[in-house]
């Protein structure tokens, strides 16, 4: 069952990337991000209300949202600030770069997470993990060379730096999640995170976009926008639910989730008609092999 849930999470994250790319084409970035967060938060409203009004609802572990104290709320707000900054950078990069370039860069997340785990949590690498990291980094270098063929210079293109920075900040979020999930209720974290991201994104929208909106790409409503947040919540829910099974393997689940890059990469070839797909797919395969070795070593 947990493998099926992992595959569902994989599919959801792949669709999530495609929905982002479709929604951002010729569109303003911050309003798209804001409305996607609104719809993700709306998913948690019914279980949150039932958790406080329906007697005996706490027996449904996967839907009950328990109350948390002020300290935990502050920790969740910190998580929101980290994730929102990563989202803004990644949305801007995805708007201005081919998805077949963005997706492989995002796929290197486990490498940076592993490095962070070494520095912060004192984890050590075994032989498989060292080999996997070196293989992934080597192919990532090859990928930077391939990007030059499309006029995307990895050294000077600011959007490449945006997606790299978004990936690194996402790594900080992953390491922070490890601390939060180990100490607090996972559903409370996910629910209140979804709630708090709405006012924070609204503030970002009002400060950075609305006063100067006439200078930027105009915002156009697209039917895909609500599904960005909805699909992301469903993918995360399936992943966290899979972790509750005693026989589940987090290394396999993490690998399944990261494999969503294959779906978004294929979309770049089929839906968006992007260039040099064969060359980039071979390099992506090398990165994935490196990630597989890291997960096997884990």
Tell me how far apart the alpha carbons of residues 223 and 156 are, in angstroms, rounded to a whole number.
Answer: 34
| CA 64 vs CA 52, 109, 281: distances in Å | 9, 31, 42
| Residues 6+ away with beta carbon under 8 Å from 252 | 3, 6, 295
Assign 150 a pLDDT band (cuts: 50, 70, 90).
low
pLDDT in tens, 103-123: 777 767 767 777 776 777 676
pLDDT in tens, 188-216: 998 999 999 999 999 999 998 988 888 88
Q: What percent of the chain stands above pLDDT 70?
A: 82
Tell me how far apart the alpha carbons of residues 13 and 216 are, in angstroms, rounded to a whole number.
Answer: 28
Of 175 and 251, more confident: 175
Q: Is the pLDDT of residue 125 over 70?
A: no
Q: Is the pLDDT of residue 218 over 80?
A: yes
pLDDT for position 85: 93
pLDDT for position 272: 62
pLDDT for position 68: 93
Summarize the confidence of residues 170-196 as an average pLDDT: 86
The label of the residue with tokens 């409305």 reads 35
Residue among 136, 140, 178 nearest 296 (CA): 136
CA angle 164, 169, 174 (to 5 degrees): 120
pLDDT for position 225: 95
3-state class (DSSP) for residue 68: coil
Please tell me the least confidently modeled range out of 7-11, 72-76, 246-250: 246-250
Of 177 and 219, more confident: 219
Could you write out the three-class secondary structure of 171-235?
Answer: HHHHHHHHHHHHHCCHHHHHHHHHHHHHHHHHHHHHHHHHHHHHHCCCCCCCCCHHHHHHHHHHH
Assign 146 a pLDDT band (cuts: 50, 70, 90).
low
pLDDT in tens, 39-62: 999 999 999 999 998 888 888 877
Q: Is the pLDDT of residue 282 over 70?
A: yes
pLDDT for position 80: 94
Of 17 and 146, more confident: 17
Q: Is the pLDDT of residue 147 over 60?
A: no
Summarize the confidence of residues 221-242 as an average pLDDT: 89
The dihedral built from the CA positions of residue 252, 253, 258 and 259, taken in this order, carries a sign that is positive
Average pLDDT of the residues of the chain: 82
Of 147 and 283, more confident: 283
Assign 36 a pLDDT band (cuts: 50, 70, 90).
very high
Q: Is the pLDDT of residue 291 over 90?
A: no
Summarize the confidence of residues 228-254 as an average pLDDT: 77
Residue 168 contacts residue 112 (beta carbons within 8 Å):
yes
Q: For the chain, what are the domain ranges?
A: 2-297
pLDDT in tens, 250-279: 556 666 676 677 777 677 666 666 666 677
């Amino acid at each position: 069952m947990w493998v099926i849930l992992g595959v569902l999470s994989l599919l959801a994250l792949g669709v999530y990337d495609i929905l982002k790319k479709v929604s951002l084409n010729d569109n303003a970035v911050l309003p798209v991000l804001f409305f996607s967060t609104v719809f993700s938060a709306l998913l948690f409203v019914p279980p949150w209300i039932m958790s406080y009004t329906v007697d005996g609802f706490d027996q449904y572990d996967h839907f009950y949202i328990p109350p948390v104290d002020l300290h935990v709320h502050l920790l969740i707000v910190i998580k929101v600030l980290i994730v929102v900054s990563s989202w803004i950078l990644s949305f801007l990069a995805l708007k201005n770069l081919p998805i077949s370039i963005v997706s492989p860069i995002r796929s290197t997340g486990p490498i940076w997470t592993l490095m962070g785990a070494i520095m912060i949590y004192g984890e050590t690498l075994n032989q498989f993990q060292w080999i996997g990291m070196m293989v992934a980094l080597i192919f990532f270098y090859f990928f930077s060379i391939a990007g030059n063929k499309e006029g995307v210079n990895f050294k000077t293109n600011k959007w490449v730096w945006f997606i790299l920075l978004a990936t690194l900040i996402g790594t900080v979020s992953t390491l922070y999640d490890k601390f939060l999930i180990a100490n607090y209720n996972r559903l409370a974290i996910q629910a209140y995170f979804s709630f708090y991201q709405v006012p924070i994104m609204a503030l970002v929208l009002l400060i950075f976009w609305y006063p100067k909106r006439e200078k930027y790409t105009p915002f156009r409503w697209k039917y895909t926008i609500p599904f960005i947040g909805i699909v992301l919540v469903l993918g995360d829910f399936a992943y966290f639910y899979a972790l509750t099974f005693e026989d589940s393997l987090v290394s396999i689940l993490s690998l399944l989730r990261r494999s969503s890059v294959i779906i978004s990469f294929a979309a770049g070839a089929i839906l968006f008609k992007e260039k040099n797909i064969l060359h980039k797919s071979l390099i992506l395969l090398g990165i994935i092999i490196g990630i597989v070795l890291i997960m096997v070593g884990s």
